[in-house]
Amino acid sequence: MTSLSDAPSHSLSTPPSELLTSGTWFRLLDAIPLPVTLTRLLDGAFLYANQAAIARSGLTLEQLRAHFRADDFYSMPLGRTALQLQLRNPDSVAQLDIALRDPQGPVVPVRATVRRLRVEDEECVLTLYDEQAYALRHQLSLNRQQLDALLANMPGMAYRCTPAGSWEFDYVSQGTLYVTGYPATDWPGQAPDFASLIHPEHREAHAIALASGEGYGIEYRLLHRDGIARWVHEQAWLVEDAEGRVVAREGVISDISARKAEEAAREADAEQYRELVQSARSIILRLDPQGRISFVNQYAESYFGYDPDELIGQPLLGTLLPETESTQRNLAGVLEALLTQPEDFPVHVNENLCRDGRRVWVLWTNQPVRNAQGQLTEILSIGNDITEQRQIQLELRRAHEQLQVQYQRIAALQNQLREQAIRDSLTGLFNRRYLEETLERELARAQREQGALSVIMLDVDHFKQVNDRFGHKAGDEVLRALGAYLRARSRSEDVACRYGGEEFAIVLPGAQLGDAVRRAESWREGFAASALEVDGHVLQVTLSLGVASFPSHASDAETLLNRADSALYAAKGHGRNRVETACAHVDDSV
C-alpha cells in the first residue's frame, strides 16, 4: 500500500489507455503479488487489473473491462454509495472487509485497501485485496472470543490486579466462585482480603513470591468459604508498560486438590510397598541393564553382610556373584544371558558370595522391567536361600552314591557266594548239588521237547596210588588238571561237575548216546595221552568212563546217574582206561 501512495504523481496524469500498455506505474503494480484493480468510482467499471488480480479472477483484462463491474465480484455491507461516502474526499483511503464473490466459486472474505484517485478527469478507486490479512484478523478476533469464553468458564480463577495499594483486583473470572466460594461480583469489596484466604502456613511463601518482583508459580492451601482448605496452584506474571514499569499482575489460580489427593494416595501406596519390600524375609534386589545393583532391601543387606553403600552401584559380578568359580562355571556368561534375555530366566539357582567369603545358594525369581519402547530398564530379582536344602541334597546324593557302591559290593559278594554254592573250590567245576538240580531241569525239558540227554561219569584210575606215591597235594594237582581239561572240552550247554572225590559227571543236554560215547572216548584218549607235570614228576593218568542216555537207559535223574555209574563200574571192571555204555536192563539194586 505504501508503494502505491509513494508512486510518482506525474504518472497518474497519463491517460488510462496508455497506462494499460506501458509505464513504470503499472509495471510496478504488476509486480505486486496481491490483486490490485482500478475501477471507476461512479459505476465500478474495470479500468485496470494487475497480473495477480487477473489470475485470481480467471478472466482476461478485456473480459473484465467488457463484461464486469467491481460490484459483480464483491459486495460491501453498505454498497457502492457507502464506498463513495467513504471516499468522498479526493485521495482518501479506507480499509474495508468485503466478501469477494468468485462468479464460479465460493465467497472469500478479504481485507481491501481502497484509495480514491483522479485519472483523466475520472474519479477512480484503486483497490488492493489481501486475503491473508483478513484471515489473520479474523483468527485473532476468534481467539479473543475463545479466550473470553475460556476465562469465563474455566474452573480456575483468572485475575488481573494493579500494584496500587496491596494488589487490588480489577478483574476476576467467574471461576473465582469455584476456587474461593465467593462469586466474581464480590471482588473487590464484599469478599475478604485475598491474603487472608491463604492458609497461615503458606502466607509467608506467598508473600515472598509476591515480593520477588517476577512472575511465579507456587502451590499453597487456600481457605475456601465452606471452611475447607484446598490446595491451589497459582501461576502469575507481571505486565509492564513501554518504560518497563509494572502496571499489572495477571495470573490463574487452579484447584489442585484432586491431584494432591492422588499424589498422597500414590505416596501412601509407595510407602506401603517400601515397607513390604523392607520387611520381606526374602532377598530383594534390582539390577540396572549393565548388571549393577541399584537397590537391595534390608534382608538382603543382612543376608549378604553388606552395608547398602557397599552394594549400590556395584557390579553384581565380583560382589554377590563370585568373579571366578572353582567349578569352572561361566558366571559372566550366565549374567550376560540374564541381562540380554531375562525372559528366558524367570527362575534360576545360583551360588552367591557373602561379604565374609561364605558361599550361599539362592533360588532367584527374576522380573524384567521394560519401558514403553520395550527397552530393558531394570531386572527385579527376588531370592530365597536354599543352602540348607542344597546341602541336604548334596548329602543325599553322596549317600546315594555310597549306597550304590555298597550295593555293587553286595551284589558281587552275592555272586561270589552263589558261585561258591554251586562250584567246587578245587577244580572250579560245578558241584554235585548243582548237577542234580540241573539234571532234573534238563531232563524235564528233554521230555517236554522229546529230545535226548546223556550223562558221562568218569573216575581217575588208581588215584590212591598217586596220593600214596606223590602225596595228597599232588593228587589235588591231578584233580585240578582234570577239571581244567574237562572245562576246556565242554560245550556251552554242557554241565561238568565234580561228583565227589576223584569222580566226575558231565551232563550233555541234547546229546544222543552215540554222540556222548564218542565224546567220552575222545576225552579218555586225550587225557591218557597228556603228560601231567606234578611236583617235578611227569605223570600219565588214565580215566574210566561210563555213559548213559535218556530216553534209552532211564527217564529220571537218579536212575540215569546210577546207570552211568554202573557203566563206569563196568569200565573199571573191564580193566580201566576205557568207556562203557549203560545197559537198559541192569538192576539198580545191584
Ligand X SMILES: Nc1nc2c(ncn2[C@@H]2O[C@H](COP(=O)(O)OP(=O)(O)OP(=O)(O)O)[C@@H](O)[C@H]2O)c(=O)[nH]1
**Can you tell me which residue has the cell 465460493?**
106
**Hey, which residues between 156 and 195 contact ligand X (CB under 6 A)?**
none
String marking each residue 547-576 x if it binds ligand X according to CB under 6 A:
-------------------------x---x
Distance of CA 306 to the CA centre of its chain: 30
As measured in angstroms, the least distance from the Cβ of 501 to ligand X is 4
> Quick one: 79 or 501, whose CB is closer to ligand X?
501
Nearer to ligand X, 409 or 487 (CB): 487
Q: Find all residues with CB under 8 Å of 250, minimum gap 6, and list them.
A: 158, 159, 160, 161, 236, 237, 239
Q: Report which DSSP code applies to 166.
A: T
First to last CA, the chain: 162
Q: 220: closest CA among 199, 237, 239, 204?
A: 199
Q: Confirm if 127 and 153 have CB atoms less than 8 A apart.
A: no
For β-strands 543-550 and 579-581, DSSP reports them as: parallel
Residue closer to ligand X, measured from CB, 132 or 540: 540
Binding window for ligand X (CB under 6 A); candidates: 71-79, 110-118, 434-442, 458-466: 458-466
Of the ranges 34-42, 109-117, 391-399, 468-476, which one interacts with ligand X (CB under 6 A)? Answer: 468-476
Helix (H, G, I), strand (E, B) or coil at 290: coil
Nearer to ligand X, 128 or 547 (CB): 547
Closer residue to ligand X, CB minimum distance, 283 or 478: 478
Q: Which stretch binds ligand X (CB under 6 A): 45-53, 106-114, 125-133, 469-477?
A: 469-477
Q: Which is nearer to ligand X, 67 or 473 (CB)?
A: 473
Q: If you ran DSSP here, which 8-state letter would residue 253 be given?
A: E
Nearest distance from residue 464's CB to ligand X, in Å? 3
Cβ-count burial of 307 within 10 angstroms (0-12 exposed, 13-18 middle, 19+ buried)?
exposed
Report the 3 state secondary structure along 499-533.
Answer: EECCEEEEEEECCCHHHHHHHHHHHHHHHHHCEEE
- In the complex, the smallest distance separating the C-beta of residue 590 from ligand X, rounded to whole angstroms, is 18
Using CB under 6 A as the binding rule, whether residue 72 contacts ligand X is answered as: no
C-alpha cell at 53: 488480480
Site string for ligand X, 498-537 (x = CB under 6 A): ---xx-----------------------------------
In the complex with ligand X, which residue's Cβ is closer, 130 or 476? 476
Among 475, 483, 509, 546, the residue binding ligand X under the rule CB under 6 A is 475
Of 119, 129, 128, 130, residue with least CA distance to 40: 119
Shortest distance (Å) from residue 539 CB to ligand X: 13
Closest C-alpha to 70, from 53, 89, 88 = 53
SS (H, E, C) 298-343: HHHHHHHCCCHHHHCCCECECCCECCCCCCCCCHHHHHHHHHHCHH
Task: State which of residues 234, 301, 424, 459 lies at the interface with ligand X (CB under 6 A).
Answer: 459
Q: How far is the CB of 477 from ligand X (least distance, A)?
A: 9
Stretch of 254-262, 361-369, 392-400, 454-462 contacting ligand X, by CB under 6 A = 454-462
- 476 touches ligand X by CB under 6 A: yes
Considering the complex, what minimum distance in angstroms separates the CB of residue 417 from ligand X?
Answer: 22
Q: Do the beta carbons of residue 184 and residue 174 sit within 8 Å?
A: yes
With CB under 6 A, what is the number of residues at the site for ligand X? 15
- In this complex, which beta carbon is closest to ligand X, that of residue 301 or of residue 424? 424
Q: Judged by CB under 6 A, which of 266, 464, 537, 574 binds ligand X?
A: 464
Instruction: Tell me if residue 502 falls in helix, strand or coil.
Output: coil
Q: CB 439 → ligand X: shortest distance, Å?
A: 22
Q: And the C-alpha cell for 449?
A: 521237547
Question: Please, what is the minimum distance in Å from the beta carbon of residue 395 to ligand X?
Answer: 52
- Give the Cα separation of 135 and 332 in Å (integer): 67
Among candidate residues 52, 53, 48, 41, the one with its CA nearest the CA of residue 117: 41
In this structure, what are the phi and psi dihedrals at residue 551, rounded to the nearest 5 degrees? -95, 5
CB of 534 to ligand X, least distance (A): 11
Minimum CB distance to ligand X, residue 545 (Å): 12
Candidates 35-43, 304-312, 366-374, 462-470: pick the segment binding ligand X (CB under 6 A): 462-470
Report residue 201 as a C-alpha cell. Answer: 502456613
423 near ligand X (CB under 6 A): no
| Of 378 and 461, CB closest to ligand X | 461
- Shorter beta-carbon distance to ligand X: residue 203 or 572: 572
- The continuous run of DSSP H or E covering 191 comes out as none
Kindly compute the dihedral angle of the four CA atoms of residues 510, 430, 582, 463, in this order, to the nearest 10 degrees.
Answer: 150
Which range touches ligand X (CB under 6 A), out of 159-167, 348-356, 397-405, 472-480? 472-480
Q: Establish if 472 lies at the interface with ligand X (CB under 6 A).
A: yes
Our CB check for ligand X shows the closer of 191 and 568 to be 568
- Contact (Cβ atoms closer than 8 angstroms) between residue 126 and residue 29: no
Q: Packing angle between helix 387-422 and helix 432-449, nearest 10 degrees? A: 80
Q: Is 463 in the site for ligand X (CB under 6 A)?
A: yes
Q: How many residues does the chain have?
A: 590
Task: Name the residue nearer to ligand X (CB basis): 233 or 572.
Answer: 572
Question: What amino acid occupies position 227?
Answer: G
Q: What is the contact surface with ligand X in residues (CB under 6 A)?
A: 459-464, 467, 472, 475-476, 479, 501-502, 572, 576
